[in-house]
Amino acid sequence: MNNLPDFPWDRLLPYKERALAHPDGIVDLSVGTPVDPVPQVVRDALTGAADSPGYPLTHGTPALRAAAAGWLRRRHGVSVDPDAVLPLIGSKEFVAWLPTYLGLGAGDQVVLPELAYPTYDVGARLAGATPVATDGLLALGPSAVPLVWVNSPSNPTGKVLPAEHLRKVVSWARERGAVVASDECYIELGWEEEPISILHPDVCGGSHEGLLAVHSLSKRSNLAGYRAGFVTGDPALVARLLEIRKHAGMLMPAPVQAAMAAALADDEHAEEQRGRYAARRAALRPALETAGWRVDDSTAGLYLWASNGAGAWDQVRKLSETGILVAPGDFYGTAGSAHIRIAVTATDERISAAVRRLQ
């Protein structure tokens, strides 16, 4: 595995130490980890299922799969058979191993966005395939491309891919027999634009053939610590993935399955959390702009994709001197070398501290 890149976050440590030295403490806006409480309805479901001595189901309980299908239908206009829902131990493990699950290897190319979550690249490398970062599928010509990743809303940019664009991706992939995997972990966090699923009829024409949509409850329900996600889409693909995961022992703990079902069935807590993020975003964005940063894209998701015209690491250094830690854009590809990614997932108190320092 010597072709794996260095873990990028290790490079931030000197800047984190500088930010930690601020008299009022660090404001860590570098990682999008939830900081708000786990909803009570979820905690109650978790503890209620604590007496779970037997092995859980790889496929998930019928209640969990029905809750996931119900949420997709209710919130996103997508109809799936609950049997085509497969729980994940957090979405990251699935992103990392999907190329391997699909049998990819040397000579295969995995297409990922030009600016992208690093695990798409890592997953291709783990399988021995070649990652290709591009937003221009047509330029690939007749290459062997069995897997295409799309991510809308985007991490890191917050860009939303419209239905027309996604339709073109689906058409291109179907002409070549490729799988399209859509990372939709931020789909409920549209601000100026409303995201749409790859499985929506306006995108896929009512057929989920060759399509997978990956969802996470980490941000919607503050469940990053629970490792709660799911994949759905093409029933044949999901059945194939289920068989592999049965053999590999990829089992979501039964109490987490119960908690996830409760979270997906309840929209009230998700709206409350959305309101928290909206308020933090509304405070932080104008403060950045007043301080000389331009915010690009960022119409959805939990990040502000910003630049003051300097190199990414110069911007990281400048903000670390005020006790604010952010992520350099080149963590997500060379096209991000003049941007920084700023998370809005800190507490209200820490966001207010950042606003004061930017002023």
Q: What residues does 133 pair with on adjacent strands?
A: 112
Q: Are 118 and 5 in contact (CB under 8 A)?
A: yes
Q: Are 129 and 120 in contact (CB under 8 A)?
A: no
- Per-position DSSP letters for 219-241, written without gaps between them: TTSS-GGGT-EEEEE-HHHHHHH
The span from the CA of 259 to the CA of 191, in Å, is: 27
| Helical (H) or strand (E) element with 203 | helix 201-204
Q: State the DSSP code for 105.
A: -
Where are the extended beta strands (E) located within the chain? 27-28, 85-88, 109-112, 130-133, 147-151, 179-183, 211-216, 229-233, 294-296, 303-307, 324-325, 327-328, 340-343
Q: Where are the domains of the chain?
A: 8-30+269-358, 51-266
Q: pTM for this one?
A: 0.93
Q: Do domains 8-30+269-358 and 51-266 have the same CATH topology?
A: no
Among candidates 77, 324, 351, 94, which has minimal Cα distance to 218? 94
Q: Is the peptide bond before 5 cis (omega within 30 degrees of 0)?
A: no
Q: Are 170 and 180 in contact (CB under 8 A)?
A: yes
Burial tier of 177 (Cβ tally within 10 Å: 0-12, 13-18, 19+) = exposed
Query: Which CATH fold would you assign to the domain 8-30+269-358?
Result: Aspartate Aminotransferase, domain 1 (3.90.1150)
Q: Are 353 and 27 in contact (CB under 8 A)?
A: yes
pLDDT in tens, the chain (359 residues): 457 776 777 889 999 999 999 999 999 999 889 999 999 999 999 999 999 999 999 999 999 999 999 999 999 999 999 999 999 999 999 999 999 999 999 999 999 999 999 999 999 999 999 999 998 876 666 667 899 999 999 999 999 999 999 999 999 999 999 999 999 999 999 999 999 999 999 999 999 999 999 999 999 999 999 999 999 999 999 999 999 999 999 999 999 999 999 999 999 999 999 999 999 999 999 999 999 999 999 999 999 999 999 999 999 999 999 999 999 999 999 999 999 999 999 999 999 999 999 98
Residue 243 makes CB contacts below 8 A (sequence gap 6+) with none
Query: Which CATH fold would you assign to the domain 51-266?
Result: Aspartate Aminotransferase; domain 2 (3.40.640)
